[in-house]
Amino acid sequence: MEESQLNSSSEKFKSGSKKEPIDSIDRLIHLVESLRSAEGCPWDRKQTPKSMSIYLIEEVYELIESMESGSPEEICGELGDVLFHIVFIASIYKELGHFDLKSSAERTTEKMIRRHPHVFGDKTIKTVKDIKKQWQKIKNKENKQSSEHSILDSVPAGLPALIQAYRISERAAGAGFDWDDIKGVMTKTEEEWAEFNSALSKGEEEEVSIEFGDILFTLVNVARFAGIHPETALGDSINKFKKRFRYMEKTLAKKGKHLEDVSRKELEMLWEKAKNMKIL
């Protein structure tokens, strides 16, 4: 594209331009359509839903990281990047004659209204637990379950294993397949730990792996009963470990040392110091 054309195209999207669409969402849609047009960007024109899915996943992870940082400005920017990719993917499907972004928004709006009869209807529900049960019941009705359909089918197989385990546990619990309380699942965790130790003593790698997976899956259910999300809890623990570990590195660096230069005992003392300083 010639420089004069590039400058002309960018003018369309400057704030206050006479050609500026009604609102920011329409403006973003118009931007994507321009990028995908014959006069637009060759790279943008060649993208497909499959190629864009990779970039969308990356942007979602960047958004999550910014949310953990707590910076509203950073979150705003990353949320905008995710929105751009969603608009971009919707634009591709519009070109193919399937649907546009507004159709998708309308469909999900109707679905959310349907799944919240306690807000938009005459249902009365008092507890979050009952709301979740109602949600699953409505979803099952929407899916028109057959003998070949499973309530677990709605959990994407591509989710990270920890999140997938949590979602599958929720679905099973919603169908009534669950422990009565957290004590029951804690007892199950102890059983799984014993089975893991037994597998370790046998030295069979495959069995050890399976039993360890069972421990993790059961712990996911412990988290569910405790009212926390295992992915968030693990993420917090990872960040805490990283901060404490970096404290150890910096402390040693000031003395001209590295981790491998000191004894295990000294490292443990530094770790305890980081803990006592409540480095989170």
Q: pLDDT for 196-213, tens place per residue? A: 999 999 999 999 999 999
pLDDT level of residue 21 (50, 70, 90 thresholds): very low
Q: In sequence order, what are the residues at sequence separation of 6 or more whose Cβ sits closer than 8 angstroms to the Cβ of residue 20?
A: 12, 13, 14, 27
Residue 14 predicted with pLDDT over 80 = no
pTM above 0.75, yes or no: no
The candidate with the shortest Cα–Cα distance to 20, out of 12, 32, 8, is 12
Q: Domain 150-228 is in which class?
A: mainly alpha
CB distance 186 to 147 below 8 Å: no
H/E run at residue 62:
helix 49-69
Structure confidence by residue, pLDDT tens digits, 139-171: 878 776 555 678 888 888 888 899 999 999 998
CB distance 35 to 41 below 8 Å: yes
The amino acid sitting at 102 is: K
Q: Domain 3-113 is in which class?
A: mainly alpha
Structure confidence by residue, pLDDT tens digits, 128-147: 888 888 888 888 787 765 55
Angle at the Cα of 97 (from 55 to 106), degrees rounded to 5?
75
